[in-house]
Amino acid sequence: MIKNRFYYAILQRTNKFNMKERFIMILVFFTVFILLVDLYSFKGIKLLISGIDSNVLKNIIYAAYWLVPVLILSYLYYFRTLQPFDREPRIFKNFFMLAGFFILFYIPKLIFITFHLTEDIIHIVKWIAGKFSGSSNIPTENVQGISRSRFISQMGLILAAIPFTSILYGMAKGRFNFRIVHEKLSFANLPEAFNGLKIIHISDIHIGSFLGHEGQVKKAIDLVNEQKPDVILFTGDLVNNFAEELTGWIPVLSNLKAKYGKYSILGNHDYCDYFDWKDEAEKAQNLENIKQAHNDIGFRLLLNESEFININDQKIGLIGVENWGLPPFPQYGNLNKAMNGSMDAPFNILMSHDPSHWDAEVIRKTNIDLTLSGHTHGMQFGIEIGNIKWSPVKYKYPRWAGLYKENNQFLYVNRGFGYIGFPGRVGMPPEITVLELNKA
Report d(CA 118, CA 40) in Å as an integer. 13
Report d(CA 396, CA 412) in Å as an integer. 17
Q: How many residues does the chain have?
A: 440
Query: Cβ neighbours of residue 106 under 8 Å, at least 6 residues apart?
Result: 33, 34, 37
Q: Which residue has the higher pLDDT, 193 or 152?
A: 193
Which residues pair with residue 433 across a beta bridge? 181, 201
pTM given for the model: 0.89
Taken in order of first residue, the domains within the chain and their CATH numbers are: 2-172 (no CATH), 179-439 (3.60.21.10)
pLDDT at 58 over 60: yes
pLDDT digits (tens, 9 = 90+) for 314-331: 999 999 999 999 888 888
Q: Judge if the upstream peptide bond of residue 328 is cis by omega within 30 degrees of 0.
A: yes
Average pLDDT, the chain: 90
CA angle 366, 368, 369 (to 5 degrees): 135
Question: What is the SS3 assignment for 296?
Answer: helix
pLDDT at 51 over 70: yes
DSSP 29: H
The per-residue pLDDT for 13 is 45
Long-range contacts of 124-130 (CB under 8 A, 24+ apart): none
Give the mean pLDDT of 244-251. Answer: 97
Which residues pair with residue 381 across a beta bridge? 426
Contact, 146 vs 48, CB < 8 A? no
Report d(CA 97, CA 95) in Å as an integer. 5
pLDDT digits (tens, 9 = 90+) for 172-211: 999 999 999 999 999 999 999 999 999 999 999 999 999 9
Q: Which residue has the higher pLDDT, 417 or 137?
A: 417
Q: Which of 167, 67, 47 is nearest to 107 (CA)?
A: 167
pLDDT digits (tens, 9 = 90+) for 248-300: 999 999 999 999 999 999 999 999 998 889 899 999 999 999 999 999 999 99
Residue 190 burial by CB count (10 A; 0-12/13-18/19+): exposed, middle or buried? buried
* Confidence band for 120, pLDDT divided at 50, 70 and 90: confident
Q: Which residue has the higher pLDDT, 90 or 208?
A: 208
Give the mean pLDDT of 323-349. Answer: 90
Query: Cβ neighbours of residue 154 under 8 Å, at least 6 residues apart?
Result: 48
The per-residue pLDDT for 410 is 98
